[in-house]
A and B are shown apart, each in its own frame.
Chain A
Amino acid sequence: SQTIHQWPATLVQPVGSPLSLECTVEGTSNPNLYWYRQAAGRGLQLLFYSIGIDQISSEVPQNLSASRPQDRQFILSSKKLLLSDSGFYLCAWSVSGGAGNQPQHFGDGTRLSIL
């Protein structure tokens, strides 16, 4: 069966520090991968999605970036964090191909607090 791992679970970082969140998927090949952010009490905001290695689409211009160096690895990064980057970051995967009718499956999330 497929599993998705995301770490760390919680992170407290000072303003201006760098960020690296990692997500890996097991049990499937060539998944679509996604990064979302959820601010407190708000809905999910899609940040990036990827249909393959080194193929990243950005949904929202900001100081975050994403990379996919391996088929089942998705990394979210920032060079300098802002206070507004605080939130709950979720990685998700779905089966690739088809007519876009596949559900997404989420990792446990990383709760990021910027001080």
Chain B
Amino acid sequence: RKEVEQDPGPFNVPEGATVAFNCTYSNSASQSFFWYRQDCRKEPKLLMSVYSSGNEDGRFTAQLNRASQYISLLIRDSKLSDSATYLCVVNPYSGSARQLTFGSGTQLTVLP
């Protein structure tokens, strides 16, 4: 089983739609979780950290479900500029500098 698994998509949604991605992780001892965004042929950029209580940043909401070992990202009122690949990132090595394991990403295309 992969350490971090994501549905690769693609998700094609109309502008203004709400879209949600899930990501599962295998190590129940994982402590830190993040969502990154990667545009085509660009470097990944941190979108948001995921906290145990869930957190929101504008149109983006991240949730953590430790019991089921998954995290989610909800995007409301999708914009054309949201088109990108979204990477689920987990730290399964608590206390280790090795730190993060990246999922393969979910591709989102927002259509006009």
Binding site for B on A (CB under 8 A): 32, 42-44, 46, 49, 51, 57, 59, 88, 90, 94, 96, 99-109, 111
Is the beta-carbon distance between B99 and A94 smaller than 8 angstroms?
Answer: yes
Q: Of B46, B97, B102, which one neighbours A105 at CB under 8 angstroms?
A: B46
- A99-B31, A99-B94, A111-B41 given; A104·B104 CB < 8 A: no
B32 contacts the other chain (Cβ, under 8 Å)?
Answer: yes
Q: For chain B, which range describes its interface: under 10, 10 to 19, 20 to 34, or 35 or more residues? A: 20 to 34
Is the beta-carbon distance between A104 and B41 smaller than 8 angstroms?
Answer: no
Binding site for A on B (CB under 8 A): 31-32, 34, 41-46, 49, 87, 89, 91, 93-105
- Across-interface contacts of B93 in A (CB, < 8 A): 100
- A100-B91, A109-B43 given; A43·B104 CB < 8 A: yes
- Across-interface contacts of B43 in A (CB, < 8 A): 90, 106-109
Q: Name the CB-closest residue of B to A42.
A: B104
- Across-interface contacts of B97 in A (CB, < 8 A): 32, 49, 51, 96, 100
Minimum Cβ distance to chain B for residue A39 (Å): 11
